[in-house]
Copies of this chain bind each other. A is one copy, B any other.
Amino acid sequence: MARIPGRQPTAPPTLADVAERAGVSRQTVSNAVNNPDLLRADTLLRVQEAIEELGYLPNRAARNLRTRASHLVGLRINPVQEGTASAIMDRFVHSLVETSREAGKHVLLFAGDPLDPLAGYDDLLRSTAVDAFVVTDTYLGNPQATWLGARRAPFVAFGRPWDNPGATHPWVDVDGAAGCDLATSHLLDQGHERVAWIGWRKDSWIGEDRRSGWTRAMRARGLATTGLASRVEDTVASGRGASAVLLDEARPTGFVCASDTLAMGVLHTLAERGLVAGRDVAVVGFDDSQVAQVVPPGLTSVRQPLEEVAVEVVKALEGLLAHPPAVGPGVLLTPSLAVRGSSSAVGFGA
């Protein structure tokens, strides 16, 4: 036996165990696992049988130590925002985990301190716990990107480098303008002419991007936008307040919102006034959250192709971690529109 006397009887088999069983050297077993084409067919078969019989699986720690790679990708998660509808992370995280697995990687979560966006990154990097990061929150610029870039830390961003178009890191993003154009055009196609916009503060790049989609769609039909837009915080209460004011002052028949959270605010206002979403006033949100899917009569919402985003992110990661590293251009994906009762009569079967 290659097992050293002191080993626990339950200890997992090692390369040496397999090697002995197959009657070859350690290195040959290693090659059987990592470079099968280096072996003669019959040897490969013999080794594979031994691997099978012993249930051998390479020890991660040893492999990581030798190859200086952990095959782990770090993802920072932020505290759940209570009282908002945004839940895209859920879907994205799952897609990312799924796609990463196919690429032989796993996702390591770490906690984010909203006040210190850099916390956590440094330790994981220096302790070689992860090979790379996926950076998601790039709402207002992103200090992480700059910082990680300076540290030469491999990372892929979900979100464009708004504040630094010349940035050279790989990124994947969803075209918010196209999404809101889609949403607005959808309402205009149904005969609406006064479609209002409720979005975020002007310093939000994403917010301005989405807003531009609304503007574009309105202008394309020669419709005025004056007095039809409102910029507020991303809360239900703000959406409620903004929609109340807009209804009073601008009399829109439809709302396109920068988020499902804001759209829910509109639904609150409608409920208060005895108006029915989809019949009296049309509402469209953004993110296709679970809220949009289950709230009566269903909230029409722009849906980000998060599965595709994950696939592109993992592709970029693989390029980044290849030898030599290959960094492609940024990828911009187009969202779709999930149409529900809030923008059509379908929700009530009428």
Contacts and interface: CB of A to CB of B under 8 A. Distances in A.
- Copies of this chain per assembly: 2
Interface string A286-313: 0001110111110000000000000000
A12 B94 CA distance: 32
Interface string A96-132: 0110010000111111000000001001001111000
A254 to B, nearest CB: 18
B62 A290 contact: no
A65 B59 contact: yes
Contact of A290 (B93, B290, B297): B290
Contact of A101 (B57, B78, B111, B127): B111
Contact of A297 (B83, B91, B261, B271): B271
A147 to B, nearest CB: 15
Nearest to A13: B126
A62 B65 contact: yes
A33 to B, nearest CB: 12
Contacts of A152: 10
Interface in A52-81: 55, 57-62, 64-65, 68, 70, 72, 77-80
B107 A108 contact: yes
A192 B86 CA distance: 34
Given A106-B108, A106-B110, A109-B93, A59 B296 contact: no
Interface string A206-242: 0000000000000000000000000000001000000
Contacts of A120: 101
A110 B97 contact: yes
A277 to B, nearest CB: 9
A126 B57 contact: yes
A49 interface: no
A336 to B, nearest CB: 14
A93 B106 contact: no
Nearest to A152: B10
8 contacts: A64-B65, A80-B94, A84-B290, A97-B109, A106-B110, A289-B290, A290-B290, A291-B291
